[in-house]
Chains A and B, each alone.
Chain A
Amino acid sequence: GAVVSQHPSWVICKSGTSVKIECRSLDFQATTMFWYRQFPKQSLMLMATSNEGSKATYEQGVEKDKFLINHASLTLSTLTVTSAHPEDSSFYICSARDRRAGTGNYGYTFGSGTRLTVV
């Protein structure tokens, strides 16, 4: 089945530094990738939607200059948390939509997540 590889799975960084998270679709082309954030004991909150070759669409309240998303190819999307602060510590998860999915039957595959801790 479709696999999304997310890397790193766990990262600790100092306050003020930047962290890049990668999501790769291993055996399919992902036209669309979604980035979610999950705080402890809360649900997944959609941060942004990225389509290959175009600018990401951010949800209300998400700072696009802080969370930089690049979707340069059909198999790779990156999320960069710039100038990270302790309140950015969270679990970040990507989800990719399989390009092969036809209308009305959308396949989504989730990455394994990245736990970011900012100290």
Chain B
Amino acid sequence: AQSVSQHNHHVILSEAASLELGCNYSYGGTVNLFWYVQYPGQHLQLLLKYFSGDPLVKGIKGFEAEFIKSKFSFNLRKPSVQWSDTAEYFCAVMSGTGGFKTIFGAGTRLFVKA
């Protein structure tokens, strides 16, 4: 069965610090990978996604993620965070052979200090 592991449950950073959130998945076949963000009081929004091609994916708001197939990882990065990046971030995996179900990681709560 597929599973998604996010290493950090809570992260606190100061503004302008660099961010890297870890995500590992377990599934041997072809996968589609996503990062979603949920701002306080708002619904999920897609940050970026990987389907194929360049393993370095650029998303909205300056976020990027790198798919490393050999490590089953899809870490999210941002060079310089802002206070407005305070939110919960979810890594998600979907396999084409699993009925297209999307499995979510437990989430990482990011708090950026102004």
Contact = CB atoms under 8 A, between A and B. Distances in A.
- Does chain A bind chain B? yes
Interface of A: 32, 34, 36, 42-46, 49, 57, 93, 95, 97, 103-106, 108, 110-113
Interface stretch (B55-63, B66-74, B75-83, B96-104): B96-104
Contacts of A111: 43
B41 to A, nearest CB: 10
Interface string B80-114: 00000000001000101001111111110000000
A44 B93 CA distance: 12
Given A43-B106, A46-B101, A110-B43, 12 more contacts: A43-B107, A44-B44, A46-B103, A46-B104, A49-B101, A93-B43, A93-B44, A97-B100, A104-B32, A104-B52, A106-B100, A110-B45
B51 interface: yes
Question: Which 4 pairs, one residue from A and one from B, show the smallest C-beta to C-beta distance?
Answer: A112-B43, A43-B106, A110-B44, A44-B104
Contacts of A106: 32, 94, 100
A104 B101 CA distance: 13
B47 to A, nearest CB: 13
24 contacts: A34-B102, A42-B107, A43-B90, A43-B104, A43-B105, A43-B106, A43-B107, A44-B44, A46-B101, A46-B102, A46-B104, A93-B43, A93-B44, A95-B102, A97-B100, A105-B51, A106-B32, A106-B94, A106-B100, A110-B43, A111-B43, A112-B42, A112-B43, A113-B43
Among A32, A44, A104, A110, the one with the most B-chain Cβ atoms within 10 Å of its Cβ is A44
